Amino acid sequence: MLYGTVLCLGDSLTFGARAVMGYPEHLAPMLSTKDIEWACLQHGISGQTTREILDRTPSAVRSLNSLTGPKWVVVLAGTNDSKGGGLSMKTWESLYRQILHWPRRFNIPMALCTFPTVQPHKMPAYTAQSVRWLKRASERVRAIASELDCGPSPVRLVELEDMTTDLLCDGVHMTAEGYYEIADRVAEVLTEEKDVTLPIPKAATEFFTGSKSTKLGSSKRTKVASITEPDKPKKKAKAKRTPRRKLVVP
């Protein structure tokens, strides 16, 4: 058994404000297979701006890098920067790119999320300008993901801008179904339906398959379906998306 880890960086939309669980808690079981058991590190703090998320990114990524097994970093950072008139887009992008520096420094694949809309009439801290700011920020995230997806590690895009407002509980934060939908979209990006070649961590000396065990040296590799380091995804025609899984609420 191999163990994989996803670091989820963000604010209250990562933490799961107004619900029992955020998207990271839903994401781990979605990713886990008989070959790899995944865990998600919940690094969402309510109310934080991109600058504050940047301040804790270096230590979080270093800790992630110390773990064996495949890794991803998911970034959803910027909603709080849209409050009022919104932070200067140039300043925000500079801070956002500095967050991305750290996973890239350790060649860790990333998934970058665009932003769900907000409803200013339900959350006074946000305005019509906030809605426009988030649309512009989503455009920048798409451009950055496309720009950076040419290095040694994949950079993928998770589209959240088209999430419907019925998934918002207070004009900003998600319902339980909304957080599940975010997890489902992230899982879809991280687990493309194809076989990939996954390097075995140096610490793993044996890999068990059923009742047989196969000795693996540091240069050996094994095939694992639908996990990390996918090739560039094929372009898909835009269509209304329906979740692959439904949230079961006990």
What is the number of alpha carbons within 13 Å of residue 214 lying toward its C-beta?
11
What pLDDT, on the 0 to 100 scale, is given for residue 197? 36
**Cβ proximity of 145 and 157 under 8 Å:** yes
**Binning pLDDT at 50, 70 and 90, where does residue 151 land?**
confident
pTM of the model: 0.80
| Nearest CA-CA partner of 157 in 145, 147, 148, 144 | 145
What pLDDT, on the 0 to 100 scale, is given for residue 1? 87
pLDDT tens per residue across span 103-141: 999 999 999 999 999 999 999 999 999 999 999 999 999
Domain membership flag for residue 207? no
Report the CATH number that the domain containing residue 137 is assigned in CATH: 3.40.50.1110
**Cβ proximity of 140 and 93 under 8 Å:** yes
Dig out the tokens for 53 from the structure: 């998320």
Domain membership flag for residue 229? no
Domain membership flag for residue 10? yes
Domain membership flag for residue 56? yes
Q: What is the mean pLDDT of residues 80-90?
A: 97
Q: Report percent pLDDT > 90 for the chain.
A: 74
What pLDDT, on the 0 to 100 scale, is given for residue 74? 98
Q: What is the mean pLDDT of the chain?
A: 84
Q: What is the mean pLDDT of residues 171-190?
A: 98
pLDDT tens per residue across span 25-49: 999 999 999 999 999 999 999 999 9
Q: CA 230 → CA 126, 197, 217, distances in Å?
A: 37, 9, 23
Domain membership flag for residue 245? no
Q: Distance between CA 13 and CA 173 in Å, rounded?
A: 6
Q: Distance between CA 144 and CA 91 in Å, rounded?
A: 15
pLDDT at 208 over 90: no
pLDDT at 21 over 90: yes
**Binning pLDDT at 50, 70 and 90, where does residue 245 land?**
low
For the chain, what is the domain count? 1
Domain membership flag for residue 52? yes
Domain membership flag for residue 126? yes
What pLDDT, on the 0 to 100 scale, is given for residue 145? 98
pLDDT at 69 over 70: yes
Enumerate residues 6+ apart whose C-beta is below 8 A from 73: 6, 7, 9, 61, 64, 103, 108, 109, 110, 111
What pLDDT, on the 0 to 100 scale, is given for residue 178? 98
Q: Which of 119-128, 138-147, 150-159, 239-248 has the lowest mean pLDDT?
A: 239-248
Range of the domain at 45: 2-191
Query: Which pairs from 207-215 meet CB under 8 Å and 24+ separation?
Result: 207/2, 208/1
Q: Report percent pLDDT > 70 for the chain.
A: 77
Domain membership flag for residue 214? no
